[in-house]
Chain A
Amino acid sequence: MTQAHDNAAHPADLAPGDEHVEGGSIGQRVLGYVVGLALAVLLTATSFFVAGTDLVWQPSIPVALVVLAIAQMGVHLVFFLHITTGADNTNNVLALAFGILIVTLVMAGSLWIMSNLNHNMMPMDQLMQMQR
């Protein structure tokens, strides 16, 4: 956080996206983004490599891709959006946690229900037979 935004009344809160650096110089802040960029490039490159390779056991590839994507989202959250586990970020993290809960429910719920329906649904030609 720089002089521009610090606030004596609220030493314990940070706006989402604001950065808390102890005596943060420009160099330190740029370094944070460079580290984030390097990690993100590494994870992206690994994702694209894993997706097209024959070197690993094939059924593990989707799982590996999902794990790599979640890791990269974490990198972006910490280094670019500055959503961290610090005490000054509790509100932001709790909102994020609630968002993740709803996203998980929507995604997993839809996939579960639809695959269940798919599984239980009679093939179309049999259904037509019954209607005759």
Chain B
Amino acid sequence: MTDATMDAHGDPNRVREIAELTMTNPGPAPKRIVTGYGFWIFILSDMIMFSAFFATYAVLLGQTAGGPTGRELFDLRNVAIETGFLLASSFTCGMASIAADMRSKTWFYLAMAVTCAFGVGFLAIEGNEFASLVARGAGPTRSAFLSAFFSLVGLHGLHVSAGILWLLTMMAQVFAKGFRADIQRRFLCFALFWHALDIIWIAVFTVVYLLGSAQ
């Protein structure tokens, strides 16, 4: 309350009667909401970028230039395992959120380590898939369809890699600085990012792999 009143004093845009202000305007939103909302906008713009890659893939799905189609290339068993890994990591990330709120370092490290392990496992399977495709002569240069496939799935993989780096940074920051308010805000953003990656993966496995192998 007092904070909000003082901030309002310092802000020339809000020169008003304090009494009126406190009655009608509770003051600037807390930093946690501002940070979280800003990061939410970033995530939504990231999804808009992904939508362009999805549109490209959908348009180029049939342009195989006489090369292999999705049905011949995709191994749905691997994709199911990848999906399971990412889903499980999203769940353990949620557990880490609860641990962070409870300020329990042990549970936080445990949940984050499991999240990291699932994320690395996901990347390993994806890397393997990419390597085997390239080895079979179905690399990104083979056809427009494969270029679009590698761009879209690779972009998601890059996001997961960045997420894992961020995850390790968060563990180090909690280790070094504890559950300070600013560290909690960063973790809120990380959790949003990680859950959003799983949402994008739902679109990837549906559009790219399941619909792609139906072609």
User: Measured between alpha carbons, how far is A36 from B195 in the docked complex, in Å?
Assistant: 12
User: Nearest chain A CB to B155's CB is how many angstroms away?
Assistant: 15
- Are the CB atoms of A77 and B199 closer together than 8 Å? yes
User: Nearest chain B CB to A76's CB is how many angstroms away?
Assistant: 5
Segment with Cβ contacts to A, from B10-18, B51-59, B116-124, B133-141: B51-59
- Are the CB atoms of B35 and A80 closer together than 8 Å? no
Let me know if B48 is at the binding interface, CB within 8 A: yes
User: Measured between alpha carbons, how far is A10 from B202 in the docked complex, in Å?
Assistant: 34
What chain A residues lie within 8 Å of B94 (beta carbons)? 33, 36, 80
Let me know if B163 is at the binding interface, CB within 8 A: no
Closest B residue to A29 by CB, please name it: B98
Let me know if A55 is at the binding interface, CB within 8 A: no
Which residues of B come within 8 Å of A, CB atoms?
1, 4, 26-27, 29-30, 32-33, 35-37, 39-41, 44-45, 47-48, 51-52, 54-56, 58-59, 76, 80, 83-84, 87-88, 90-91, 94-95, 97-98, 101-103, 184, 188, 191-192, 195-196, 198-199, 202-203, 205-207, 210-211, 213-214
From B48, B80, B192, give the contact of A102 (CB < 8 A).
B48
- Are the CB atoms of B210 and A17 closer together than 8 Å? no
A9-B37 contact, Cβ under 8 Å, with A30-B95, A102-B48, A110-B58: no
A72-B192 contact, Cβ under 8 Å, with A5-B32, A102-B48: no
User: Measured between alpha carbons, how far is A68 from B145 in the docked complex, in Å?
Assistant: 25
What chain B residues lie within 8 Å of A68 (beta carbons)? 206
User: Measured between alpha carbons, how far is A103 from B41 in the docked complex, in Å?
Assistant: 14
Closest A residue to B48 by CB, please name it: A102
- Are the CB atoms of B214 and A62 closer together than 8 Å? yes
A76-B195 contact, Cβ under 8 Å, with A41-B87, A92-B37: yes
- Are the CB atoms of A17 and B206 closer together than 8 Å? no
User: Measured between alpha carbons, how far is A72 from B204 in the docked complex, in Å?
Assistant: 13
- Are the CB atoms of A14 and B33 closer together than 8 Å? yes
| Chain A residue total in the interface (Cβ 8 A) | 53
Which residues of A come within 8 Å of B, CB atoms?
2, 4-5, 7-10, 13-18, 26, 29-30, 33-34, 36-37, 40-41, 44, 47-48, 51-52, 61-62, 65-66, 68-69, 72-73, 76-77, 80-81, 91-92, 95-96, 98-99, 102-103, 106-107, 109-111, 114
From B30, B44, B95, give the contact of A99 (CB < 8 A).
B44
Closest B residue to A16 by CB, please name it: B40
The CB with the most chain A CB atoms within 10 A, among B32, B36, B202, is that of B202
User: Measured between alpha carbons, how far is A30 from B96 in the docked complex, in Å?
Assistant: 10
Number of interchain pairs (Cβ within 8 Å): 147
User: Measured between alpha carbons, how far is A132 from B191 in the docked complex, in Å?
Assistant: 61
What chain A residues lie within 8 Å of B84 (beta carbons)? 44
- Are the CB atoms of B51 and A2 closer together than 8 Å? no
What chain A residues lie within 8 Å of B39 (beta carbons)? 16
User: Measured between alpha carbons, how far is A2 from B102 in the docked complex, in Å?
Assistant: 8
A15-B32 contact, Cβ under 8 Å, with A37-B87, A106-B52: yes
What chain A residues lie within 8 Å of B56 (beta carbons)? 110
- Are the CB atoms of A111 and B55 closer together than 8 Å? yes
User: Measured between alpha carbons, how far is A50 from B205 in the docked complex, in Å?
Assistant: 13
From B45, B103, B188, give the contact of A18 (CB < 8 A).
B188
User: Nearest chain B CB to A88's CB is how many angstroms away?
Assistant: 10
